[in-house]
């Protein structure tokens, strides 16, 4: 980076700000250009990185060029390059450059989108973006919601709204006064934020969540759900909500949302869909039928910082009844001026002060457009299907669960003679050893998982830079690892 003189931090003139911005922009542009070649995993350890950044509280100012230089010299090289095309990881995307710069613009305006008064345009833009997400899901005109710092907090927000809607007494009195214990239902494949949210809501992360079995495809068993709710009601529990998943974390599978919606209707349960990852697939005309039933949800979690390629944070909670969020969260704030006909986003969720996260999504959705976003999602699903076909064609690898989105859960089963001589637990540990060997090379990132009771290897196409050649390279590495171990 070039090193212009450091401005007074509290009194920068326009030339100082411009120089700072140019230097940062220069680095960002170079970083995007180099991403394809960078190793995914940095060569560091917790001890090394903690030691490098341990430093006393700064008493005196440092020139900002030195800070940017240190960022380039020490921070970036010790960073995990999840936007890499060889990151086949969790649901962390490569951010779109437009969204990276939108974050800087939003920070410059520093709107507080908790209060309309402090964010007129930002509130209007968040309202529009929420409308777009509701339209994608097929929710009715009265639906509404808010952006959240991610899918976990969207789930917490959604489940709080569900509890408040089904048991309004809990809004003021909590769960103390209830005669029957409220419980929610989710499959064994649900994301950890579901039990965590139940814990935060006072239901208990274990006692508050009833685990519904899944079928061999990892989809929630709706008949079992119906039986469990009947038995639990007879036993004195108070079932109030069922969670369907669109894009299981371990394998990307989509639950039978329409059948869950039927059950929720028959059993008078709130229907929450955790579509944190897969909701991006709703932008594709070809993929949308896989989500049939999502339009019947009472609440939906979406995470634009997954398939929309937003930098963190950008999650969303949507509710069919657009007032449900306000009923759960509205609180008195005598010090904030009231404005008729405004939307006060702090009343729709957990946060008071809220960032202008909508700007990046608003800009990106206009820049890319729904169709191109949709085609991109299709392309990633096709790459994943092709990866699975190619890896399994010799019979020594298998696909553990169906490929509904851009995640493949695969397993090495060994050559037939081999497979017979190895026990199941030996094969399980082999999956972990294959992953460890691939990670040790630092060039790719994949992860182990357990789904439908089977130890597997999870490979996800999430970076928009990933091409077939990157997956071919991974297949070679997986085969070599399996042959060597």
Ligand X SMILES: Cc1ncc(COP(=O)(O)O)c(C=O)c1O
Start-to-end CA span in the chain (Å): 44
CB of 430 to ligand X, least distance (A): 26
Among 164, 245, 377, 403, which residue interacts with ligand X (rule: CB under 6 A)? 245
By CB under 6 A, which span of 94-102, 245-253, 343-351, 461-469 interacts with ligand X?
A: 245-253
CB of 203 to ligand X, least distance (A): 18
Pattern 190-229, ligand X, x by CB under 6 A: -x-x------------------------------------
CB of 168 to ligand X, least distance (A): 26
CB of 284 to ligand X, least distance (A): 19
Laid out side by side, the sheet with 447-451 consists of 397-399, 407-412, 454-460, 447-451
Q: Which is nearer to ligand X, 150 or 325 (CB)?
A: 150
DSSP 320-364: SSTTHHHHHH----TTS---TT---GGGGSS-SS---THHHHHHH
Half-sphere exposure of 419 (CA within 13 A, CB side): 10
CB of 408 to ligand X, least distance (A): 15
In 3D, which of 276, 281, 280 has the Cα closest to residue 249? 276
In 3D, which of 274, 296, 295, 278 has the Cα closest to residue 287? 278
Among 221, 255, 303, 477, which residue interacts with ligand X (rule: CB under 6 A)? 303
What backbone phi and psi angles, to 5 degrees, belong to 108? Answer: -65, -40
CB of 245 to ligand X, least distance (A): 6
Q: Which is nearer to ligand X, 27 or 312 (CB)?
A: 312
CB of 216 to ligand X, least distance (A): 20
Q: Would you put residue 453 in left (φ > 0), alpha (ψ -120 to 50) or beta?
A: left
SS3 of 147-174: EECCHHHHHHHHHHHHHHHHCCHHHHHC
Task: Note whether 151 binds ligand X by CB under 6 A.
Answer: yes
**Cα–Cα distance between 395 and 479 in angstroms, integer?**
12
Q: Which is nearer to ligand X, 193 or 431 (CB)?
A: 193
**Which value, in Å, is the radius of gyration of the alpha carbons in the chain?**
24
Number of H helices, E strands in the chain: 16, 11
Beta strands 454-460; 407-412: pairing state = antiparallel
**Cα–Cα distance between 155 and 150 in angstroms, integer?**
9
Q: Which is nearer to ligand X, 272 or 320 (CB)?
A: 272
CB of 442 to ligand X, least distance (A): 23
CB of 194 to ligand X, least distance (A): 8
Q: Which is nearer to ligand X, 208 or 252 (CB)?
A: 252
Q: Which residues ranging from 75 to 94 are in contact with ligand X (CB under 6 A)?
A: 90-91
Among 150, 182, 322, 349, which residue interacts with ligand X (rule: CB under 6 A)? 150
**Cα–Cα distance between 178 and 166 in angstroms, integer?**
12
By CB under 6 A, which span of 28-36, 41-49, 116-124, 148-156 interacts with ligand X?
A: 148-156
CB of 66 to ligand X, least distance (A): 34
With CB atoms as reference, the residue minimizing the distance to ligand X is: 151
**CA geometry: angle 127, 90, 150, nearest 5 deg:** 25
In 3D, which of 243, 258, 220, 225 has the Cα closest to residue 161? 243
DSSP 364-413: HHHHH-HHHHHHHHHHHHHHHHHHHHHHHTTSSEEE-S--SSSEEEEEE-
Q: Which residues ranging from 89 to 118 are in contact with ligand X (CB under 6 A)?
A: 90-91
Q: Which residues ranging from 262 to 281 are in contact with ligand X (CB under 6 A)?
A: 274, 276-277
Q: Which is nearer to ligand X, 245 or 365 (CB)?
A: 245
Task: Note whether 244 binds ligand X by CB under 6 A.
Answer: no
Pattern 167-196, ligand X, x by CB under 6 A: ------------------------x-x---
**Cα–Cα distance between 179 and 356 in angstroms, integer?**
42
Q: Which is nearer to ligand X, 305 or 346 (CB)?
A: 305
Task: Note whether 247 binds ligand X by CB under 6 A.
Answer: yes
CB of 445 to ligand X, least distance (A): 15
In 3D, which of 416, 409, 420, 457 has the Cα closest to residue 437? 457
**77 contact partners, CB below 8 Å, separation of at least 6:** 42
**73 contact partners, CB below 8 Å, separation of at least 6:** none
Task: Note whether 152 binds ligand X by CB under 6 A.
Answer: yes
CB of 303 to ligand X, least distance (A): 5
With CB under 6 A as the rule, give the number of residues binding ligand X. 16
Pattern 308-337, ligand X, x by CB under 6 A: -------x----------------------
By CB under 6 A, which span of 57-65, 149-157, 404-412, 455-463 interacts with ligand X?
A: 149-157
Q: Which is nearer to ligand X, 191 or 296 (CB)?
A: 191
Which residues bind to ligand X, rule: CB under 6 A? 90-91, 150-152, 155, 191, 193, 245, 247, 249, 274, 276-277, 303, 315
């Amino acid at each position: 980076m070039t090193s212009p003189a450091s401005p007074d931090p509290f009194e920068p003139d326009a030339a100082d700000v411009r120089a700072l911005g140019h230097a940062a922009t220069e680095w960002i542009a170079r970083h995007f250009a180099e991403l394809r070649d960078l190793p995914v995993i940095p060569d560091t350890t917790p001890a090394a990185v903690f030691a490098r950044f341990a430093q006393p509280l700064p008493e005196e100012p440092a020139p900002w060029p030195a800070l940017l230089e240190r960022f380039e010299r020490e921070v970036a090289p010790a960073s995990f390059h999840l936007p890499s095309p060889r990151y086949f990881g969790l649901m962390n995307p490569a951010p779109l450059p437009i969204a990276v710069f939108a974050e800087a613009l939003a920070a410059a305006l520093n709107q507080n989108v908790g209060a309309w008064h402090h964010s007129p345009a930002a509130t209007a833009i968040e309202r529009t973006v929420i409308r777009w997400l509701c339209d994608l899901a097929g929710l009715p005109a009265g639906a509404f919601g808010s952006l959240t710092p991610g899918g976990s907090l969207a789930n917490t927000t959604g489940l709080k709204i569900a509890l408040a809607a089904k048991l309004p007494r809990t809004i003021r009195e909590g769960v103390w006064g209830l005669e029957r214990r409220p419980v929610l239902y989710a499959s064994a494949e649900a994301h950890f934020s579901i039990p965590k949210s139940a814990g935060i809501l006072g239901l208990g992360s274990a006692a508050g969540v009833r685990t519904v079995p899944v079928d061999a495809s990892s989809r929630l068993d709706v008949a079992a759900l119906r039986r469990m709710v009947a038995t639990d009601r007879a036993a004195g529990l108070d079932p109030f909500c069922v969670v369907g998943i669109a894009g299981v974390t371990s394998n990307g599978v989509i639950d039978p949302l329409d059948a869950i919606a039927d059950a929720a209707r028959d059993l008078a349960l709130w229907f929450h869909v955790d579509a944190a990852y897969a909701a991006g697939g709703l932008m594709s005309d070809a993929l949308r039928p896989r989500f049939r039933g999502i339009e019947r949800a009472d609440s939906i979690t979406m995470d634009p910082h997954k398939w929309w390629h937003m930098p963190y944070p950008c999650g969303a909670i949507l509710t069919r009844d657009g007032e449900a969020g306000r009923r759960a969260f509205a609180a008195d704030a005598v010090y904030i001026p009231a404005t008729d006909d405004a939307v006060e986003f702090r009343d729709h969720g957990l946060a008071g002060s809220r960032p202008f996260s909508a700007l990046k999504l608003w800009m990106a959705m206009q820049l890319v457009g729904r169709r191109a976003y949709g085609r991109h999602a299709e392309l990633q699903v096709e790459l994943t299907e092709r990866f699975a076909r190619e890896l399994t064609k010799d019979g020594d690898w298998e696909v553990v669960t169906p490929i509904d989105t851009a995640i493949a859960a695969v397993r090495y089963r060994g050559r037939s003679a081999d497979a017979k001589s190895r026990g199941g637990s030996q094969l399980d540990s082999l999956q972990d050893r294959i992953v460890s060997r691939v990670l040790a090379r630092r060039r790719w990132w994949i992860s182990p998982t357990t789904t439908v009771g089977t130890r597997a290897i999870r490979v996800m196409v999430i970076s928009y830079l990933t091409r077939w050649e990157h997956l071919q390279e991974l297949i070679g590495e997986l085969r070599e690892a399996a042959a060597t171990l």
